[in-house]
Amino acid sequence: MKIGTPKETAEGEARVAMTPASAKELQKLGHECLIEAGAGKAAGFNDAAYKEVGVTVVKSGAELFREAEVVAKVRPPSDTEAKRLKEDQTLVSFFYPASNEDQMKGLAEKGVTVVAMDMVPRISRAQKMDALSSMANIAGYRAVIEAGNNFGRFFTGQVTAAGKVPPAKVLVVGAGVAGLAAIGTATSLGAIVYAFDVRPEVSEQIESMGAEFVFLDFEESGQDSSSTGGYAAPSSPEFQEKQLEKFREMAPDMDIVITTALIPNRDAPVLWTKDMVEAMKPGSVIVDLAAERGGNCELTVKDEKIVTDNGVTIVGYTDFPSRMATQSSTLYATNIRHLMTDLTPEKDGVVNHNMEDDVIRGATVTHGGEVTYPPPQPKVA
């Protein structure tokens, strides 16, 4: 089949869904690859690099959508792109079906199959296609780099001829994929790292990465996330109060705070309040990875970096993966390539959309003229 990748049209988006390396692998599955001219440029892949591995470079997005049988991209389609998609075509991209209902219905009615990369079930077998995790890993890493870029001191402690430098103290709130990546990056730079999560089972992972788990003197019943698919459930008001009390106590001592706390289908919980920001030292930095969903810090401004009156920098960017477009495109394109491998079981260039397969079923949100979202629970964990 012809798999084509257009240039992303969302403002500031630098990622691309196909790299020369992923195209080589897609071709081994018997597929033909197309790319829109300039699609990989912002991620560091020029047209010549694609041509060299046998990818056909087409002049425009319109031509790409006309030619490709499978369109692989990063962002959900724009209105123009959705109009270009046609019967029997397959779209593979982030799609966020819960907040994209009209487009989903429209594409289903046209007979387009949509595979949402954000809906790939988070089970062991599907880890190689888990684009939410590969992007969260980059966001966590980049959050620490961004913090360092705005912080006037070393992360590591040093004793030098010019004086003794204390290590930076970093608090990571939320130890999912992004939080754990942030912990790993901050400890490797030599900071003293503390981390907190409402899911007590992550304390071992936090400690194995060299950070200290922040314990609350409070037992919350039911915060074992096994009943919520590994995700957090909202905390009780008493637990929240204890958590805020602990953070309030820690605020004056922390140099960098990285917040990543999310609960599925809800606004981000506010965990770092105005008074905590005011209690921090001048020069401290907060990076709020929950900014897209309203922010974990009360003062975060989405997509902006602000400096408070007491000299605390708060970073609310929501495009961390795009800021590392070469890395994120490489990982995302690999996620897509693995998905295409599962969709091409005979490696003969023929897509077999097997709706009996838990992973393919889970990620497919429109198929055969129907909306197929939400999917049934996967059988295998």
Peptide bond into 374 cis (omega under 30): yes
Q: Are 316 and 294 in contact (CB under 8 A)?
A: no
CB of 232 to ligand NAD, least distance (A): 3
CB of 189 to ligand NAD, least distance (A): 21
Token pair for 68:
């490709």
A 10 A CB-CB count for 222 gives: 10
A 10 A CB-CB count for 321 gives: 25
Q: Are 93 and 335 in contact (CB under 8 A)?
A: no
Q: Which is nearer to ligand NAD, 31 or 338 (CB)?
A: 338
Q: Which is nearer to ligand NAD, 91 or 177 (CB)?
A: 177
In the complex, the residues that contact ligand NAD under the rule CB under 6 A are 122-124, 127, 130, 133, 136, 173-179, 196-199, 225, 230-232, 235, 260-263, 269, 271
CB of 73 to ligand NAD, least distance (A): 22
CB of 296 to ligand NAD, least distance (A): 8
Q: Which is nearer to ligand NAD, 93 or 235 (CB)?
A: 235
Q: Which amino acid, residue 282?
A: P
Q: Which is nearer to ligand NAD, 37 or 123 (CB)?
A: 123
* Helix, strand, coil share of the chain (percent; to 5): 40, 15, 45
Catalytic center residues: 122, 127, 130, 133, 231
Q: Which is nearer to ligand NAD, 14 or 206 (CB)?
A: 206
State the Cα–Cα distance between residues 281 and 336, nearest whole angstrom: 44
Token pair for 195:
């981390």
CB of 381 to ligand NAD, least distance (A): 8
Using CA of residue 284, residue 320, residue 291, residue 212, what is the dihedral sign?
negative
Q: Which residues contact 116 (CB under 8 A, 6 or more apart)?
A: 93, 94, 95, 96, 97, 363, 364, 365, 373
Q: Which is nearer to ligand NAD, 139 or 285 (CB)?
A: 139
CB of 276 to ligand NAD, least distance (A): 14
Q: Which amino acid, residue 25?
A: E
Phi then psi dihedrals of residue 371, to 5 deg:
-80, 125
| Residue in the block written with tokens 């077999």 | 352
